[in-house]
Each structure stands twice: as structure tokens, then as C-alpha cells.
Amino acid sequence: MSANLVGQLRNTRRNITAVLLNLPIVATETSVATLLTMLDHFSDHPDEYRELLNDLQRRDARGK
């Protein structure tokens, strides 16, 4: 495998992990198709993604 391909795969994994950490989903129970659908939705509606992140941060702040 070329270094460029390995870099792309690692970058993809890092990006997916970052999104999964921000969404209230269980990664082991979410299919790739569902994740792609969510990404498409939030790409079309970025304000909803931002709102979800803000809601989760507020919830976490109250829980601490």
C-alpha cells in the first residue's frame, strides 16, 4: 500500500471518529448506511448539526 493511501485511510478514520464522538449514537450499533444518511442530512442542514452539538454540550454541562 502506498503511503498516500495509508494516509487517506487514517484521515478518514480520524474524521469518522470525530463525527461519532459528537453524535448521540452507539458506533457499534450503527450501520455504514445509517452513518452516511446522517452525514448527508447534516451536510444539507448544518444548523441542525450545530444545534445538536450545542444541546449535547449543555446536557453534559448540567450532568457534571
* b (16+ CB within 10 A) / e for 31-56: eeeebeebeeebeeeeeebeeeeeee
pLDDT below 70 — which residues of the chain?
1, 64
The residues near 30 (Cβ < 8 Å, ≥ 6 apart) are: 20
| C-alpha to C-alpha distance for 42 and 10, rounded to whole angstroms | 23
Per-residue confidence (pLDDT) for residue 22, from 0 to 100: 85
Residue for grid cell 450503527: 30
Record the pTM.
0.72
